[in-house]
Structure 1
Amino acid sequence: MEQKAVKLNVENLSSLPKAVKVPGYDRSKIKTGIVHVGIGGFHRAHQAFYTDQLLELGVTDWGICGIALLQHDKKIYDTLVGQNGLYTLMITEADGTRTARVIGSVTEYLFAPENPNAVIEKMAHPDTKIITLTITEGGYNFNPATGKFMADNPAIQTDLKNPDRPATIFGYLAQALKRRKQRGLQGITLQSCDNIQQNGAVAKEMLLAYIALAEPELLNWVNENVSFPNAMVDRITPVTSPEAIAELQDQFQVEDAWPVVCEPFCQWIIEDDFVNGRPDWNLVGAQFVKDVHPYEKMKIRLVNGGHVALGFTGFLNGYHFVDETMADPLFFNFVHDFLDQEVTPILDEVPGIDIKAYKKILMQRFANPYIKDQLARIFSESSAKIPKFLLPTIQEQLAKGVTLKKAALILAAWCHYLEIAGLPANNFDVQDDMKKTLVKEASASVQEDPLAFLKIKPIFGDLAASENFSAQYLFFLNIIRKEGIAKAISGIDGEKQVTAN
């Protein structure tokens, strides 16, 4: 007789199959020390996972309050609240072996649009020692080309006019820090867990830029009482699919409306700069270091840069998942050579890391056939990602006089994807805040200015002014349009690599 799946909630924890690990600690005795903004899959596979392991060791003062910041987060908020904050983490090995673990470290949830004041009060509560963020690259509101805070963003302007009912992360943080100052409370650590190089420094710069406009008298207090440690985070976490939900029910008999699937690899390297205490995440695998820069540069340029190389190229060849793209030798070799030839030469020495071995493991991670990481996920919001994951590599190499063929092809693939996105035969759903501009300029590059797309200054800056790079870009764009992406990649090394004068 087939066993019926057990609905995930606190009451049913003891009824779950023994193969499913459940929290061994009393969640009712956990005090919230961390407020986390952005309760998506990555946070739940990464920071919440590390914290869950720490709570298993008997720690009681570092529970997490998860904040659903945006209106479209209502569905995940309702789902998780309906499960008493519990969810299942399914870790999938390269051989298909899966383990299931119920995570209990997020003990509270708040829906910001419903009660902004409750969120501000939680951030300002004396027990809250750390505020962490996974708000995506675009959530930091900086101009990709200049790195400067975009004060003219309508959402920012609305927050400046309505400080008690904020909608952006900056509005919430400014009001929470203001209350902490007014109440004479200790400082707090603001920790970014997003894939941005020097993410803590970026978070600080953007927040101070907002506070200078909204609450200028708060600036000195923030500078003296708030720390912004940089961190490198890594764990491939695809969007939860209906298939994953069904597999959890079939294999583990758990009915979970929003589980998380992830790879076994997990890394978190954190600058040890906390002003009001911190969890000992190092006891469960994280590393605290003095300088995170070489680690994050390695990760962002190789892991996220590798994803950028796979995304549009694989999709244009009819693939939908990272692993199936990697299963094609043409694309496997393309990514391998891009990382080896165009990225690795500009990496710094990374203490304790063998770069060659790291890249070998990375290629295995990308090729894991059981993760099913969607190409559409990794190239969503590319206007925010590519300026951080790929363009710094291009800029550093061009400064050295190197002509980058593979990077040029990647940008050409992005342009062509946007060119054909709106055609009736395709009708791709371009997920990007800059969608209108991207599609407009990509289309203009077909009939008007061939470099129109590369001249989008907020993204590319003056990249189009590089004659060598522009020539390579147009060369590959032409081949992709006429003969397809596979032909462009297969002929990429037909010309000898040249050095710019």
Structure 2
Amino acid sequence: MTHTVDLPAYDRAKLTPGIVHIGLGNFHRAHMAVYLDDLFAKGLAHDWAILGAGVRANDARMRDALLAQDCLSTVIELDPSGHRARRVGAMVGFIEVQPDNAALIAAMAEPAIRIVSLTVTEGGYYVDPATGRFDPTHPDIVADGANPAKPATAFGAILAALRMRKAAGVVPFTVMSCDNLPGNGHVTEAAVVGLARLSDPAFADWVQANVAFPNGMVDRITPATGPRERAMAARFGLGSDPVPVTCEPFRQWVLEDRFTAGRPPLEAVGVTLSDHVHAYEVMKIRILNGGHAIIAYPGGLMGIEYVHEAMAEPLIAGFLNKVEREEIIPIIPPVPDTDLGAYYTLIQERFSNPEVADTERRLCLDGSNRQPKFIIPSIADNLARGVVPRGLILESALWCRYCAGVADDGAVIEPNDPNWDRLQAVARAAASDPAAWLAMEDIYGAVGRDPAVIACFAGFLGDLAARGTRAVLADFIAG
């Protein structure tokens, strides 16, 4: 297997910051930072470098790690034909992480900063799962609404910086979400404007009228960093990096061309600028992210560690194929210049890449935030066309069984959701009252009240308890 290391093909000393990015996790460093690294290597947009930022304790640890290596990130692409390592140099600094975000606010207020981007996870936008709307009653939001001058959230800091720019007559920056959630621009706008309304409705109106929040679809599988990934970096001679990123070779970014203060020429490095982001994101969220959920929970219950191993298990691969082809792909609206069947085939190949070594446990993580975005809308769309989607409902029953905390072989499943205690209690109650699981209104909404869904779910949950995952999947695949 070949091993090469690519260094930045440009003079980093000539870069100047144009973007503040909040949330320097693996995905950002393998996605947006890589696109910018490619752009700078073409001799373009050297005034669009990244300043890293964060608002949590983990962000401070990441800051320390990256500053120790001059803000260079190791990104290793895991192609089965050969690994490729690169040192990504698109970030030129990391703002001090402070409880009141004073340094972050000051940096975002600088006129040179024209984009503030975010990867704060699907659960970081203060969305009420039951309504799909911004939740102004969340304690973090209430606290920032009461004390806007010293905000603790990313959205509060964004508002404080926008207020300073407005007062100074500086054009507002664009706020660009790079998180994997439907309508991420709309969701971000709802959070920023909704928070502003708690303290200054007139300023909220100004933000809504003057700040761009482009929607974007982002895609690249990036496993969590652990001993395997650090050992891999060491084999490239990069053993001093405690936070290397590994990822699949594939990446995609589809973005609305809506920016208040300009943007880098991202189309020069493969970003698709489109007015049809929603079509791309529905395809990706339903087929890829929904597919991840479909293979996650049976794998977790069957004691399978890695995603490629799950794809090599005929029962799981057959379950995925049946649900995707019969219940998901038929409800996906047309996508520009895209064949949905070919896209699904690509997804199967990506899931099966053994070099990525993505874990089933990572895919099982945070179902309480992911299911309402990736699975339940597909159930609702099938019901609307008069179809009871048995495979998607079986997926939900598998999630319930997983959250009860015991695998099929009796092994304990460790907590794997921010709401694990609640989920585990409801899952155990559902053993005798299956409707209790679907009655989680904030997750299932109207879907959980549908009599056909309740009956189908109860049948699958009882069957899983009586016969186990393998037998139930075999019967489902056989029809």
The answer on whether the counterparts of 1:71 and 1:113 sit within 8 Å (CA) in structure 2 is: no
1:14-53 mapped onto 2 (5 Å cutoff): 19-53=4-38
Which one of the candidate residues 427, 440, 444 is aligned to 1:456? Answer: 440
> Aligned partners of 2:219, 2:459: CA distance in 1, in Å?
34
- Read off the aligned partner of 2:476 and give its amino acid letter: I
Of the structure 1 ranges 157-166 and 394-403, higher mean CA displacement relative to structure 2 is found in: 157-166
Aligned residue in 1 for 2:222 = 237
> Aligned partners of 1:357, 1:376: CA distance in 2, in Å?
27
Q: Secondary structure at the match of 1:397?
A: helix
Aligned residue in 1 for 2:78 = 92
Which one of the candidate residues 271, 278, 291 is aligned to 1:286? Answer: 271
> Aligned partners of 1:290, 1:424: CA distance in 2, in Å?
49
- Read off the aligned partner of 1:240 and give its amino acid letter: T
TM-score where L is the length of structure 1: 0.92
The answer on whether the counterparts of 1:188 and 1:225 sit within 8 Å (CA) in structure 2 is: no
- The CA deviation at 1:251 is 4.2
Residues 149-205 of structure 1 show CA distances to partners (whole Å, capped at 9, x for unaligned) of: 222212222222332332212211111111111111102211111111111011112
Structure 1 residues 30, 133: closer, same or farther in 2, change over 3 A?
same
- The CA deviation at 1:209 is 1.2
Aligned residue in 1 for 2:140 = 155
Q: Which ranges of structure 1 fall in alignment gaps of 5 or more residues?
A: 1-16, 496-501
The answer on whether the counterparts of 1:421 and 1:430 sit within 8 Å (CA) in structure 2 is: no
Aligned residue in 1 for 2:174 = 189
The answer on whether the counterparts of 2:17 and 2:48 sit within 8 Å (CA) in structure 1 is: yes
- Read off the aligned partner of 2:102 and give its amino acid letter: N
> Aligned partners of 1:246, 1:158: CA distance in 2, in Å?
42
Aligned length: 477
Aligned residue in 2 for 1:216 = 201
The answer on whether the counterparts of 2:231 and 2:239 sit within 8 Å (CA) in structure 1 is: no
The answer on whether the counterparts of 1:455 and 1:463 sit within 8 Å (CA) in structure 2 is: no
> Aligned partners of 2:93, 2:352: CA distance in 1, in Å?
36
> Aligned partners of 1:285, 1:149: CA distance in 2, in Å?
32
1:139 aligns with 2:124: yes
1:417-456 mapped onto 2 (5 Å cutoff): 417-420=402-405, 426-447=411-432, 449-456=433-440
- The CA deviation at 1:56 is 0.9
Of the structure 1 ranges 154-163 and 465-474, higher mean CA displacement relative to structure 2 is found in: 154-163
The answer on whether the counterparts of 2:431 and 2:462 sit within 8 Å (CA) in structure 1 is: no
> Aligned partners of 1:422, 1:483: CA distance in 2, in Å?
13
**Two-structure CA RMSD over aligned residues (Å):** 1.9
1:74 aligns with 2:60: yes
> Aligned partners of 1:352, 1:318: CA distance in 2, in Å?
39
The answer on whether the counterparts of 1:31 and 1:60 sit within 8 Å (CA) in structure 2 is: yes
- Read off the aligned partner of 2:75 and give its amino acid letter: L
Q: Secondary structure at the match of 2:176?
A: strand
The answer on whether the counterparts of 1:88 and 1:101 sit within 8 Å (CA) in structure 2 is: yes
Structure 1 residues 215, 435: closer, same or farther in 2, change over 3 A?
farther
Aligned residue in 2 for 1:413 = 398
1:392 aligns with 2:373: no
> Aligned partners of 1:417, 1:113: CA distance in 2, in Å?
38
Which one of the candidate residues 285, 293, 312 is aligned to 1:300? Answer: 285
Residues 9-38 of structure 1 show CA distances to partners (whole Å, capped at 9, x for unaligned) of: xxxxxxxx9931111222222111111111
Q: Percent identity?
A: 37
Q: Which ranges of structure 2 fall in alignment gaps of 5 or more residues?
A: none
1:478 aligns with 2:462: yes
Residues 437-491 of structure 1 show CA distances to partners (whole Å, capped at 9, x for unaligned) of: 21221121124x3211111001111223211111111111112112111111111
The answer on whether the counterparts of 2:257 and 2:273 sit within 8 Å (CA) in structure 1 is: yes
1:369 aligns with 2:351: no
Aligned residue in 1 for 2:450 = 466
Residues 337-385 of structure 1 show CA distances to partners (whole Å, capped at 9, x for unaligned) of: 2111111111111111111111111100000001011122222111111
- The CA deviation at 1:410 is 0.7
> Aligned partners of 1:435, 1:239: CA distance in 2, in Å?
20
Of the structure 1 ranges 418-427 and 237-246, higher mean CA displacement relative to structure 2 is found in: 418-427
The answer on whether the counterparts of 2:178 and 2:218 sit within 8 Å (CA) in structure 1 is: yes
The answer on whether the counterparts of 1:309 and 1:410 sit within 8 Å (CA) in structure 2 is: yes
Aligned residue in 1 for 2:301 = 316
Q: Secondary structure at the match of 1:261?
A: strand
